[in-house]
Structures are given as C-alpha cells and as structure tokens.
Amino acid sequence: MRLSVIGCGYLGAVHAAAMASIGHDVIGIDLDERKITALARGEAPFFEPQLPELLREGVSSGRLTFATDIAATAGSDVHFVGVGTPQQQSGHAADLSHVDAAFDSLLPHLRAGDVVAGKSTVPVGTAAGLAERVATTGATLVWNPEFLREGWAVEDTVDPDRMVVGVPAGEAGERAARILREVYHPAIAKGTPFIVTDFATAELVKVAANAFLATKISFINAMAEIAEVTGADVTLLADAIGYDVRIGRRFLGAGIGFGGGCLPKDIRAFAARAEELGRRDSVGFLREVDAINLRRRDRAVQLVIDGLGGSVFGKRVAVLGAAFKPFSDDVRDSPALDAAVRLRGLGADVVVTDPQAIENARLLHPQLTYVADRDEALRGADAVLLVTEWDEYRRQLTPEHAASLTRGRVVVDGRNSYDPKAWRAAGWTYFGMGRP
C-alpha cells in the first residue's frame, strides 16, 4: 500500500521508517529541508535505537522516500498526519497551528476514497472539526493516536501493545477501519488488539493514558515526600504495594520526576481542555500531579545544597545526564537540565555529561559546561547528581571508581538507582529521593 506521512519529527520519522519496514511504499513530508536531506540519506536526525537501521534499509530498498513538497503525497492511499502539538506560549492549552497548517496543505491533494489518519495528540473534539473539512474532498478522516515510548519507539510502532482507531459513523468509517487493518496487518496477525472507537474516545485514550502514567509517578513521589519526614523508605514501599496486581510495580519509581515532550505538556493541555468543556474539577488533580513533579526537582537541588553544607557557591557539581530519559537525546522539559541550571544559578560550577544529548542540551542551555566523557565530568567534583539512568551511570559506575576521580564524596541519587549501603561503605554521603 502507498502511504504518506506528513511531519517527519520524532513521531513521523519513526512511523515512516516502520511502515516501510513492513512492506509499504512510504513518502515522508516535512518543511525542514535539512531534516529531509538527512532522512533521504538514511540518517536519523535524532537518537532513537534501531531507527538508523530501518531508515537505511527503507531508503536503499526504494520503499522509503522523503520530500518537502506536499504535492508528493498525491496518489497515497493513507495519509498519516503526525505533526507536533506543543504547549501554547501564552498558556497550558495545546498549540494546534501545526495541525491546522498540515491539513490546509494536504486537502488540495486528497482524492475521493483516501484515508487521512491523524496521529498527533490533540484536545478532544479536534478530530470532529477536521473530519468535516476532509469529507469535502471525498476522503475520510480517522484518528489513530500513537503510544510511543522514546527509546522503544520502533518496537512500539512495529509491534504495539494495542491500536486505537477513531472513525466516523457509517459506511465510510467502516471502510476506513478496514484499510487501517490492512496497513497494520503484520501486528494484528500477531494478536495486537485493534480497537475501533468514535473520534472523541480515540482522542481521550491518548491523553488519559498519559494522565494515568503521570499520576502514578507523582503518587509515588508524593509518598516519597512523606517518607522523607518519617524515615520510611519509598523504594520498599513501592515494592510492597507493587505486589498488588491491581497496582503493579511499573511506574512506581520515586525520584526527580518525569519530563520530556509528552507527559508534562499533555497533562496541562488535558486540564486546559477540561476547563473549556466546563469540567475543570474532573481533572483538577492533574494540577497537583504537575506540582508534585516539579517539587521533586526542587528537592534534588536542595539535597545537593544540604550535602555541600548549605551552599553550592564555588563548588563543582557533576550532573550525570541531560536527556529526560535514557536511550534518548530529547532534552525537552528535562529534569536533569532543570536541576543543572538551578545549581549554576546558585553559583555552582556545573559540569553536565550525557551519551547522546549534549548537543541538544547545549543549544537549549549554552551557559552550562558539557563534557562527553563520564569520568571527565566526575574528575574534581565536590558532589555528584545522578539524573538520567543511562547504564554507564547506573550500572557501570562503582562508588570506588567514582571516589578515585572526585574531590568530594557527596552523591545525590535522583533516580534511586544506587545501593545506598555500597556507596556509604565506600565513604560517600548518600542522598536518595524518599530514602532514609
């Protein structure tokens, strides 16, 4: 089947390469000429495991091409729209200008019978309005939200845990659902659930999932706040309640909190949309979820200050991590960079290291010092702050090796990844998040 993907950012580039890998002919469209040039050479413009291999394979086979002219989408059977919906600069609502622009440019190239599949995360109610515009061309809109985890995006596209497709009522919607089943046939044949809904439900599935995950993370971080004043250990608490199958242990890792380009802005946009719908109180708890998350960044910074005797002025602090999570170079709303900037603002000599995200971090915060080598970052440090759980920081760094490089012996474990006993036995003053 011939497919087009409008928007070749993180979502679109992965989707295009993944669809080509399962046998479709795919054209990816983006206005950024530098990005398109790189993709056309089979080069990923961002770090994502397995993506470079898929791009090279798709480009070399001829199944995957890229262009800046949206007219190249003509003749495609399905058009996926995966442009960004960032937070508005003037508030918490989603900025839909990229979505509107993508549909404006796509409409003249649609044929009767085409299917347009929206994948962007949008406020509930958006698809219904877009569907009316698409219908004027004889094409049909469906809403097919993505559920990608950065670092596992290729796997989540090729072999997802579920697929959701929101369709209009009637024969056109039924036909569109059949076409999407054909597009995703390899995954469906392996048993992946394929859930057909209305537009509103499909839009809500995405934001509801993100809201639930964010709430689970902030819940355990709220328990960490209680643990810190009672002497309890939040990691043991999480283990204990995680054995309850109704709760589960995943996403109960207390620490410095979540970041990235999805959870923070999506829960804020969800709350803003609920207020527009007159249901502000229904998701009012999401404001506290957001507040708890941001407080944990404050806590990590305060632990560094406490560890250094009440002031970080003139002290060297090694920050291990810049990306908001491992296996990614994404620094959007990164807790690591937030903490690093705050510490520098207090007068610390901050050195940040990361295996993949340094260039992106430098563009966002050029005032910080960056080094690619972990040991160079540790050398001469008075305190160490672990923020991103890359294996070379979490598993491959021993307290003895760290002590051979640093000047001080203060470690703040922003992800509760280290064994406190081992670090204290090696002479370190260890601070965890919600741990005694």
Residues marked as catalytic:
262
Residue 50 to residue 40: CA distance in whole angstroms: 17
Residue spans of alpha helices (H) in 76-120: 97-106
Residue 74 main-chain phi, psi, to 5 deg: -55, 135
Residue 120 to residue 106: CA distance in whole angstroms: 15
DSSP string, 257-296: ---SSSHHHHHHHHHHHHHHTT-GGGGTHHHHHHHHHHHH
Structure tokens at 247: 């709760």
List Cβ neighbours of 172 (8 Å cut-off, separation of 6 or more): 140
Core vs surface per residue 113-135: b (16+ CB within 10 A) or e: ebbbbbbbbbbbebbbebbebbe
DSSP string, 177-214: HHHHHHHTHHHHHTT--EEEE-HHHHHHHHHHHHHHHH
Phi-psi region of 196 (alpha: psi -120 to 50; beta: other; left: phi over 0): beta
List Cβ neighbours of 308 (8 Å cut-off, separation of 6 or more): 315, 382, 383, 408, 410
Q: Is residue 380 within 8 Å of 316, Cβ to Cβ?
A: yes
